[in-house]
Structure 1
């Protein structure tokens, strides 16, 4: 397996990945350089005009897979507005369908579904992101139904988060549960007997080369797996992630899965969590709250 990627924790800087070792200069080459420095040119040329200095760090890139047919409403629009408010100056790339309201600054990688298995479709969209020059080597992967509720730093996203140990999840004999079982079996074959479940509905940081290896090694583009759970368990085996508490005691994420949750609890989590997400049933309850929180257009909209 590839060694764990080293990335710096910073408020806004994109992590940088070392791609090649630095070569040491030989003594002979050093001497030649010194001789060249002492030699006078036959004719002095005027200095070249100063070039505009480049920024030391590119903007953080947020990548969101999007399938319009599965959307209940304007989830993506509010997710984009939330990101712009929480991390100004970011770049956002959508993989999949392009919404009609998208402006020029909302970058787009066209992709049509190639599988009815949602996790296989996710793997194919990840492959499209890996292949695209619009996405840097290190990027943030999130979903259209995850909304950032407060200012966040890159460190908030980079921190490993888990529900706990990986086990059967989803409806009995459903597609997601089968994908979770397949993921558990694959990790146990690697000798990871008690892997963590990293499918927390929070944004995550990934690196292209490492992600491509996971997809290839486990055949994620052919059979459904929980891709980021494979990624995090494989490259961060000895780490102890933060265990999210998706209940009244948590502070990171709240999931709304009912159309009629207790409004007092919903208001509390919206005021105290970093992220909130919803499923199809929960969209009814979340939509009016998002309209209140993010009423204005952002630079990613027409």
Structure 2
């Protein structure tokens, strides 16, 4: 990245979000970036951030997918940005560019979660893995970690379009609270 990336964070409705407060502080102190974009709901106390309003009428999976698409389609968001959640705390100075982390092969992540009994998560993981394999990625890796993720807007929009039909993106899990996509 030649220029500093923006930070994009989806935020659900609700004023009480202390973790976002602390995340914003940690990013300002330790994560090189250009601007912060809150997508979804912006608490009234969140100042010095940009805002992209989105409707939050679906499941949390639909809402975060819509937030990702809105960020990627917004002309003022940097072409590569760091996707963060409101509870990502950066505790020491980071170098630029931010590295891309992954958990290793999806098959290993699937084996790990298969012993945990979370059927909805495994269903989404397998659905995503099957799509990736059908597209020629024989042994896809999982980027589903609780760390900032560098996102290229064009690539993500393509991925969202290709995966648009997946149940995990259209309806989300019927029960449970874990995300269900290896590359989401």
Same fold (TM over 0.5): yes
Out of 22, 29, 36, the residue aligned to residue 85 of structure 1 is: 29
Flag the structure with larger Rg: 1
- The answer on 1:162 being equivalent to 2:107 is no
Q: Which runs of 5+ in 2 are unaligned?
A: 173-179
Q: Which runs of 5+ in 1 are unaligned?
A: 1-14, 17-56, 231-302
Q: Relative contact order (C-alpha < 8 Å, sep 6+): which is higher?
A: 2
1:151, 1:200 → 2: CA distance?
A: 19
- The answer on 1:153 being equivalent to 2:100 is no
Indicate conservation of the 8 Å contact 2:100/2:150, yes or no: no
Indicate conservation of the 8 Å contact 2:29/2:93, yes or no: yes
2:40, 2:155 → 1: CA distance?
A: 22
How has the CA–CA distance of structure 1 residues 180 and 203 changed in structure 2, closer, same or farther, with 3 Å as cutoff? Answer: same
How has the CA–CA distance of structure 1 residues 205 and 66 changed in structure 2, closer, same or farther, with 3 Å as cutoff? Answer: same
Indicate conservation of the 8 Å contact 2:5/2:34, yes or no: yes
Q: TM-score, structure 2 length as denominator?
A: 0.79
1:84, 1:171 → 2: CA distance?
A: 38
The residue that corresponds to 2:126 in the other structure is 181
The residue that corresponds to 1:102 in the other structure is 46
Indicate conservation of the 8 Å contact 1:119/1:226, yes or no: no
CA RMSD in angstroms comes to 2.4
Out of 66, 83, 86, the residue aligned to residue 141 of structure 1 is: 83
The residue that corresponds to 2:170 in the other structure is 222
1:114, 1:222 → 2: CA distance?
A: 13
